[in-house]
Structure 1
């Protein structure tokens, strides 16, 4: 999938060539994501077209993020590491209830055809997938940033949090919302750095932001982007 760099934001988009078109146009959809349709053009030109509409695209993305996604079926799109991946749902009597795998740039959801509550089975399988991928993708980055900053947590745990992306208590135990694995790595890293900084400064004082700026100089932009993401 092509990626256009709009400021500090990566815009992932699909590019569809249509020889009948005279001009290009862009659509932003909950399921399809950002789609550029053009007559035959060079890749660099395609990126420039997306960048030229960058602000409009970002505003549109914020709107469609809030659209209820409804039942998950083949053709749905689900977030993982900042991108919306195509979902394929298949029946498999060999699995217990449901199982999610990420293969070949899509999410495969296998569901037992005899399961009684299809929606609950898929929801539970997606939660298990998200938690497992968070362990795989997020915990090593906590270790890396802890070594980089010299800020060592007492413990690090992943948990489903309803109203925040992370926390650090007075004992320096850090919690990270495992749903953060749905975000791009830039935002995952920011969440980690933010919570590690609370090891040194428990409040959001000037000293806290001074320390935060050492490792996340664009923290204001990151804060804004996180605020636009739906928990």
Structure 2
């Protein structure tokens, strides 16, 4: 694909601009530092893109402030007595060495992780992530079936993946939804909010008044759920760009 790259400076903010074979402008602000990125059509001149960026300056600064102030979990070492969350509840990790395939089990307020002796930190991290993934996969079909009774759409497929900038996304044409793996750590109603949000996009692609009306109808308390989701600390990640 033919692309052109530029940098637009707006005061003390640098905007990375990538022009490529697309139809519309797309503006993003990426964690953790609030890097600003615009994807724009090849045919569009830079001055038009600059004017667009200036018009969004207030929104850009608001998003950057959110990222700077957002709470982040401390880096995890995956050792016994370390705190981890599942569905919004706090559990203490207990490492149990055994000579068998790894597994994770909940016992009261403890997450018991069974691993082989000398399993290193990255492997323990991977074991817990895979457990989170499987738990989400187990919950999603029942949740979607319940929501499909309220929302007049049919979800063809729902997948789980790690995402750095979104809690969820969807392919409207394929009726396929993805949810962020991190949602396994959040209260169940936060997962429900993201599912309703993405399922509503199957009815309305854009965040317009029609979309908001749908959200108000399908999940009247969605604003409160959204606030809850944003209030919880996000995972510590070594962000690389």
TM-score calculated relative to the size of structure 1: 0.65
2:176 is the counterpart of 1:182: no
Tell me how far 1:101 sits from its aligned partner: 1.9
- Structure 2 match to 1:81: 87
Gap change, CA 1:64 and 1:76, over 3 Å in 2? farther
> Aligned partners of 1:64, 1:161: CA distance in 2, in Å?
17
Unaligned runs of 5+ in 2: 1-68, 236-241
Could you say which residue in structure 2 is the equivalent of 1:72? Answer: 78
| CA RMSD in angstroms, aligned pairs only | 2.0
Deviation string, structure 1 residues 26-73 (Cα, Å, up to 9, x no partner): xxxxxxxxxxxxxxxxxxxxxxxxxxxxxxxxxxxxx99524143121
Aligned residues: 165
Deviation at 1:123, TM superposition (A): 0.8
Question: 1:143 is matched with which residue?
Answer: 145
Distance 2:156 2:140 in 1: 17
1:152 Cα deviation after fit: 1.3
The runs of 4+ residues in structure 1 deviating greater than 6 Å are none
What are the ranges of 5 or more consecutive residues in structure 1 without an aligned counterpart? 1-62
TM-score by length of 2: 0.63
**Residue deviations 1:187-223, cap 9 Å, x none?**
1111111111101010100000000011221222222
Q: How far apart, in 1, do the equivalents of 2:177 and 2:194 lie? A: 11
Q: Which has the higher contact order (CA 8 A, sep 6+)?
A: 2
